[in-house]
Amino acid sequence: MACNVPPQLFSSIEPLPTLAPTLALLPQPPTPLLTPTAAVYTATPDATPTAVPPTPIPTDTPLPTATAVPSYHLILDPSQPQSYLTQFRLVAFYGSPTGPGLGILGELPRDQMHAQLLTTIAEYEPLSDRLILPAYHLVTTVANPHPPGYHHHVSLALIEQWVAEAKELETAVILDIQPGYADLLTEFGRVENLLYEPHVHLAIDPEFTMQGGQIPGVNVGQLYAAQINQIQARLNEIGAAIGLNRVLILHQFLPSMLPDKASIEEYPFVEIVIDGDGVGPAGVKIYNYTTYASEPAFEFGGFKLFPTDGDYPILSPAEVMNLAPQPVLIIYQ
């Protein structure tokens, strides 16, 4: 099954080697990635489609406010970085590339997982006002209950392989950090050069950002505005360098996870997504999402679904898209 994603979004970066042994194989600043020349990309027009009856939409679901078209112009200009999430919606599968345990992404061989992701996206396409990109949500620093650091790393070589192959599959990548007791800026530094790739974004999980004796899986952690702003400052530099805003996703299901949202600053080349996380009844998840949408720092909304881990009932694509505001990121774990 083909996903209706313009291949040109990913064509501006030279492909990585299939087996990149170190991060040094990726472009290092300053490189052409940091000072790309302006280029206009135009998708090849599709053949005239055969008429297909529209998918029924529940009467209480708002219709898209605009019609997504399969062609567009994407200009990468460091002097005028452009928004990302006003152009694209992401539907992501979450997990670890090392295998099952953290989510759906590692539970199937990659080709089967990707085919299932495209099938899921097809259910959202009639409901979306913008192009939908498939996304891999990769946990790269994994929290665990073992001292001293209470975390472990997915190898950079494996992460690089997934990033390179995602580009070939016209798929976005979200690199997720669960720091445990690791220094957040140090963990960011492990994957920073990958964020110069236009299709790569960043997520941080406050649940697994530990403080003062907390243990991952036992206690729920918290992420403070000062930490978030430090990361945003680095992402802002990258967005300005490549001519495309960078996306920062913050997971949340309790107020204590982001305790000082009002102090989260705005950066012109960073787009924040507050992702309504957590397993449980649909009503509670919807309440949390709409609450976060009214709080400081909410710029774009994300919504996370747990089809096999305890969501009851699991919301349908139509129900997810009936949320106000519509999420621009939908994650399946």
The residue type at 83: S
- Residue 47 DSSP label: P
Percentage of residues in the chain with pLDDT exceeding 70? 78
| Integer Cα distance of 305 and 16 in angstroms | 32
How much is the pLDDT for 31?
33
Tokens of 312: 């009851």
Alpha helices per DSSP H over 39-155: 110-124
Q: pLDDT per residue over 53-79, tens digit each?
A: 444 434 444 434 333 333 334 678 888
Q: pLDDT per residue over 87-108, tens digit each?
A: 999 999 999 988 777 889 988 8
Residue 48 has pLDDT above 80, yes or no: no
Q: pLDDT per residue over 189-200, tens digit each?
A: 999 999 999 999
User: Are 81 and 269 a contacting pair, CB within 8 Å?
Assistant: yes
- Only one residue has tokens 């699991």, namely 314
Q: How far apart are the first and last CA of the chain?
A: 22
User: Are 162 and 19 a contacting pair, CB within 8 Å?
Assistant: no
User: Are 239 and 81 a contacting pair, CB within 8 Å?
Assistant: yes
Please return the burial class of 67, using the count of CB atoms within 10 Å of its CB with bins 0-12, 13-18 and 19+: exposed
Which whole number is the average pLDDT over 147-159? Answer: 94
How much is the pLDDT for 141?
95
How much is the pLDDT for 3?
42
- Select from 219, 142, 201, 234 the least CA-distant residue to 331: 201
What's CA 67's distance to the chain center, in Å?
23
User: Are 242 and 78 a contacting pair, CB within 8 Å?
Assistant: yes
| Integer Cα distance of 309 and 291 in angstroms | 23
Domain ranges, ordered by start, for the chain: 7-51+65-332
Q: pLDDT per residue over 253-262, tens digit each?
A: 999 999 999 9
Q: What is the mean pLDDT of the chain?
A: 82
Residue 166 has pLDDT above 80, yes or no: yes
Which whole number is the average pLDDT over 291-295? Answer: 97
How much is the pLDDT for 99?
79
pLDDT class of 157 with cuts at 50, 70, 90: very high
CB atoms near residue 192 (< 10 Å)? 19
- Select from 256, 289, 275 the least CA-distant residue to 333: 275
Residue 114 has pLDDT above 90, yes or no: yes
Which of 118-132, 234-248, 263-277, 301-315 is the least confident region? 301-315
Q: What is the dotted CATH code of the domain comprising 7-51+65-332?
A: 3.20.20
Which whole number is the average pLDDT over 203-223? Answer: 94
Residue 47 has pLDDT above 50, yes or no: no
Residue 27 has pLDDT above 50, yes or no: no
Tokens of 206: 């406050």
Alpha helices per DSSP H over the chain: 110-124, 156-168, 184-191, 225-242, 282-293, 317-321
How much is the pLDDT for 65?
38
| Integer Cα distance of 211 and 303 in angstroms | 26
